[in-house]
Amino acid sequence: MALVPLGDRILVKRSDNDEQTTSGGIIIPDTAKEKPQEGEVVAVGSGRLLDSGDRQPVDVGVGDLILFAKYGGTEVTYDNTEYLILREDDILAKVN
């Protein structure tokens, strides 16, 4: 993947949310005020910069299935595929 997120950001390919149940078995309730979204991690940045100048690696890896807040991130299309660039802090959970 040529798109390398910067710092504490990650690149995510959204799961297809039309079916009620997502690939990770999560039902996204239409009623829920803020429907969390599901997607797969495609690339991760070098991690968050700490006061000391060290980088704190991102807590998820490429291939992880994750749940994230609906309204975070920036959309981008690359090689005709839609991705989302998120901050690590937008991630709610990993779906093992």
- Cβ atoms within 10 Å, residue 7: 13
Assess 63 for contact with a second copy (CB under 8 A). no
Residue 43 and residue 3 in contact, taking contact as beta carbons nearer than 8 Å: yes
To the nearest whole angstrom, how small is the minimum distance from the Cβ of residue 85 to a second copy? Answer: 5
To the nearest whole angstrom, how small is the minimum distance from the Cβ of residue 78 to a second copy? Answer: 5
Number of residues that bind a second copy (CB under 8 A): 51
Cα 66 to the chain's mean position, in Å? 6
Distance CA 74, CA 84 (A): 6
User: DSSP state, 59?
Assistant: S
Q: State which residue, 16 or 77, has the beta carbon closest to a second copy.
A: 77
Q: Which residues bind a second copy (CB under 8 A)?
A: 2-7, 9, 11, 24-29, 32-34, 36, 43, 45-46, 48-54, 56, 59-60, 66-67, 69, 74-80, 82, 85, 88-89, 91-96
